[in-house]
A and B are shown apart, each in its own frame.
Chain A
Amino acid sequence: MTAPEASGPAGAPAVGAEVEAEIGRWRQYILARGSVSAEDADELEDHLRGHVDGLMDAGLADDEALLVAVKRMGSQAEVAHEFARQHSRRLWRDLVLDGGTPRSRDGILGMLAFGAAAGLAAKVMWLLAANREHVQDAAPVGIPLVLGVLATFLWWRRRASSRVVLAIGGTAVGLAALGLAYPFDARADTAILFAIHAAIAMWLAVGVGYAGGHWRSRAARMDFIRFTGEWAIYMFLIATAGGALMGVSMAVFQGLGIDIADALFLWVLPLGLGGATVVAAWLVESKQEVLETIAPVLTRIFTPIATIAVLAMLAGALVSGGFEDSRESLIAVDLLLVVVLGLVLYSLTAQSPASPVGWADRMQLALVVAALLLDLAALVAMAGRVAEFGFTPNRLVTLGVNAVLVANLGVTAWLYIRRVARRGDLAPLLRWQTGYIPVYGVWALAVCVVVPPLFAFA
């Protein structure tokens, strides 16, 4: 039907322009399904063309050959669904693609209802803070409640089993009750530690809700790590925009001679903050594509910057001969380790497991090793301080957090070294990081339960 084109490779039967365009459309269509990457599409297209060539050799016209080959390839929905299952890069794709109908609920009404509930939970925190006798209880009670609502929202979207929501509710109520029952005193060191660690423990409960109960699945855990990063970005964006709007409103109403400070700080702020936790989660799930492209870019930008910063700090430690005021500096180093761990996790989620060793891996390795060396310097200073003055709640927890982070990053560094040396894939790193997640939960719960009584609620 079509004369072989002069430009076609020798020996291969060439297809006509019309069929060529048809193949292009087929490729576009399969890519639009979302679960098929460009590489997958290349592979499928090669298959399709191989089949078309074979059929044309057997005497079929090019358009007939394409029809048969496309038919044999299977329905695009089915193929895309299989790819989604294989990648399981995105839990939501699985949920959406399963059976062709969305299984997760994405109604705006539900999101608004849960957002309102989270806002009210945050308002409880504000009420406690306003009560002079319970100032210290505000965050220990409020944080589990707000995050409990968020976790329940995700559970509701997944339509997961009632056992999941019982686990979430049990954790949230248990922590809030503990926060209320513990008689934190006015110094509130242990109350702050409790609040921070209750937030970490509750965040893992959010993870259980996010995974719809499949929290043992490695893919679900990886998705949750990704969700965490994207949620944090959305929260930051909402908080920045909301804060700016509140500032402008204050200024305008002040000009009008109306004082709205109370309305803003006692109502708008808690309701907005609580509601934002749910809205951000909803945005992460609904506006997936937006951040999917931003996250890898952010990682690429921040990893080199962070590496340079940590190397500069290390050089500073060498020049100055180590840390002086140990507790604050160890807290700062702990925070730095959290940032480094965050970058490691983020870059892991942004890479495909089979991606080859590149400069990014060496950069990550340098970053982790430099941070660990800096940590060593801070620990030396801390050891002297503990020997001299004994343990305080802050010192104990700072050291504990340090141990949890160093154990993770030490093995991470080792796995990166092996990856760079043997050109292996990312699977061991992914296994390690996803397997480590429960450690944070155990640690956080242990701090919440044990540390306040241990130090007489100081």
Chain B
Amino acid sequence: MKVGKDLMAASAAPLVLAILAEGESYGYAIVKRVRELSDGEIEWTDGLLYPLLHRLEDAGHVTSRWGASETGRRRRYYEVTPSGRAELAEHRRQWAAVVGALQSAWKDVADAAVLGTMRPGVAL
């Protein structure tokens, strides 16, 4: 199973914000963390993470600084801002609403299916 493109796009910003809320990080580490968190189900096109990070920076949700990697390469580190944390909280509220609605809807479907197996006539 692979997560669909639209869903991936919608969840990218909240995921990045949540990972940065754990502490300062950089692009490659964020991608690795996403893979860990999703058990490999979410496969980003790595290059597309950076425009997203820069968009978040333009919106003031994250800040960045240039530092050096452990091997001395130039590396850009990102950190979440208070406004980014507020944004993340908002994302969580919205996702909770969506997930809640989906679970209720699926529960109804499941209930109907259960009823259907008890009374075969209704299912048809």
**A: which residues have CB within 8 A of B?**
9, 11-12, 39-40, 42-44, 46-47, 49-51, 53-54, 72-74, 76, 78-79, 82-83, 85-87, 353-354, 427
Contact = CB atoms under 8 A, between A and B. Distances in A.
A76 B76 CA distance: 20
B69 to A, nearest CB: 7
Given A46-B26, A46-B27, A72 B46 contact: yes
A30 to B, nearest CB: 8
B22 interface: no
Given A43-B27, A46-B76, A73 B70 contact: no
- Residue in B31, B47, B73, B74 whose Cβ sees the most chain A Cβ within 10 Å: B47
Interface in B44-59: 45-48, 50-52, 54-55, 57-58
Contacts of A73: 45-47
A contact patch SS: helix
B58 A353 contact: yes
Given A12-B71, A43-B27, A354-B57, A72 B45 contact: yes
A354 B57 CA distance: 9
Contacts of B70: 11-12
B75 interface: yes
A82 to B, nearest CB: 4
Contacts of B95: none
Report the contact-size class of chain B (Cβ under 8 Å from the partner). 20 to 34
Contacts of A39: 76
Contacts of B60: 427
Interface string B4-37: 0000000000000000000000111101100000
B72 interface: yes
Given A82-B51, A353-B58, A43 B76 contact: yes
Contacts of A49: 73
Contacts of A44: 47, 50
B33 to A, nearest CB: 13
9 contacts: A11-B70, A39-B76, A43-B50, A47-B31, A47-B47, A54-B28, A73-B45, A79-B50, A86-B58
A79 B48 contact: yes
Contacts of A83: 50-51, 54
Contact of B45 (A40, A53, A74, A353): A74
Given A42-B76, A86-B58, 18 more contacts: A12-B71, A39-B76, A43-B27, A43-B75, A44-B50, A46-B74, A50-B28, A73-B47, A74-B45, A74-B46, A74-B47, A74-B48, A78-B48, A79-B47, A79-B50, A82-B51, A353-B58, A354-B58
